Structure 1
Amino acid sequence: MLHGFPECWYSWRHQMRALSDRFECVAPEMRGYGESDAPVGVANYTLDKLVGDVADLIEALGHKRATV
């Protein structure tokens, strides 16, 4: 579950609770939010970078695909 500006992972707390008995639910802080890395410069927040972060997370969790 991905949040946008100005939300955070906490926005998904109710959905995660409702779905967690059937799904592995993950709601990461997106790049630049909360305690996540916040690289300087707008070039570090392109769609390619954000999608790459999500793809890397899916792989790090041991999955080849996910419903986002």
Structure 2
Amino acid sequence: MVHVETPKTDLVFISARGGGFGPDKDLLAWFGPSEAAPVCSKQNAVFSWRTDGSMFFAYNPFALDAVA
């Protein structure tokens, strides 16, 4: 069973968590763009936590320019 949290506003990102979901059934948690949610994967995530214990964080060097 996958639990998907959708915001009550027009935000672009959502999170999902469950026991082995996604195309490879290897995700425990996923955060990314709402349009990518039906096919949650490491490739389209901002953050993902996999069943093997590994975590993936997307890195965008351009985001640092916005904060500086």
TM-score by length of 1: 0.27
TM-score by length of 2: 0.27
Q: Which structure: greater helix fraction? A: 1
Q: Which structure: greater strand fraction? A: 2
